[in-house]
Amino acid sequence: WAIHAPYVAAINRLKQARNAVILAHNYMTPQIYHGIADVVGDSLQLAIEATRVEADVIVQCGVHFMAETAKILNPAKTVLIPDMEAGCSLAESITPEGIAEMRRRYPGAPVVTYVNTSAEVKAASDICCTSSNAVQIVAALEAETIIMTPDKYLAQNVAQQVPQKNIVWYDGSCIVHEQFTAQELREFRDWNPGTRIIAHPECPPDVVAEADFSGSTSGIIDYVAREQPEKALLVTECSMASNTSDALPGIEFVGPCNMCPHMKKITLEKVLWSLHSMEGAVEVDSQVAEGARQAVQRMIDLSR
């Protein structure tokens, strides 16, 4: 922490001077998460918080689609992302043409698109979802056949929970969560009996089936805080265990995790530079933004 302290102090001073608010995803490093964030959360919470920001500037400590979502929902604000290259394998996996192709294959079926996508893809969709509300959104739609894009594993996990729907999916996946295997979790459980295993729904269904609980990043944190297991294995991005263990020192966080190279592009140094230079402002074409806003707003309204 000592080497980070000058950055934390400088960022917190500049934040005041610029009238800025820092929204940080749960995958940020502990220095960002505990040191400079005003609001932390999962994708849904950050999207909702973005609509409430009254400050002039939002600094999005997360990946590009999160900053874009904040800009779409609160266009009057300057939304900065400290590294424009902070992408997401899911967002990169699909374009509006991919949505059009799914519509051609399943005529009349509504398209539910994960928020981990570009504004153009959201605008081509009917409604968005996040990992925390995907089941709720799909169950609330009237149609029987529903297209879910782009995360095939999230779609397959949702399909198991909403068997009354015929869910069809696109072929995208998260480079972080697709690497976990059911076999490694089974072996882990054998070596560490009594460990609570908690998996993000971007993991393959056989991995989720080995877990005691599956939920969004904030769902995972809430579960651990509520259940207070002696040992927990968080089958998700590495910073989740670090951030959660700081708040819950009585729990031992064990086992493998995978790092998201995109999330880890956001550093204290880059946050300081973006607040100093005001570089890295996210812009979205107004027509695209309106289409995307409708898809995101429908999701927020249905999640209440």
CB closer to ligand 13P, 185 vs 203:
203
User: Is 131 a binder of ligand SF4 (CB under 6 A)?
Assistant: no
Beta strand 39-41 with 145-149 is: unpaired
Q: Which of 247, 252, 250, 256 is nearest to 222 (CA)?
A: 247
CB closer to ligand 13P, 235 vs 272:
235
Q: Which of 41, 23, 30, 62 is nearest to 217 (CA)?
A: 41
Q: Say which entry of ligand 13P, ligand SF4, none residue 20 contacts (CB below 5 to 8 A, set by partner kind).
A: none
> Could you say which of 10, 175, 209, 302 contacts ligand SF4 (CB under 6 A)?
175
CB closer to ligand 13P, 78 vs 157:
157
- In the DSSP assignment, the letter for residue 300 is H
Q: Say which entry of ligand 13P, ligand SF4, none residue 175 contacts (CB below 5 to 8 A, set by partner kind).
A: ligand SF4
Tell me the closest approach of the beta carbon of residue 87 to ligand SF4, in angstroms.
8
Instruction: Retrieve residue 70's tokens.
Output: 């904040």
User: Is 263 a binder of ligand SF4 (CB under 6 A)?
Assistant: yes
CB closer to ligand SF4, 88 vs 102:
88
The beta strand positions in the chain, using DSSP E, are 20-25, 39-41, 57-61, 78-80, 111-114, 127-129, 145-149, 166-169, 196-199, 213-214, 231-235, 252-253
**Which positions lie near ligand SF4, rule CB under 6 A?**
63, 88-90, 116, 174-176, 202, 237, 260, 262-263
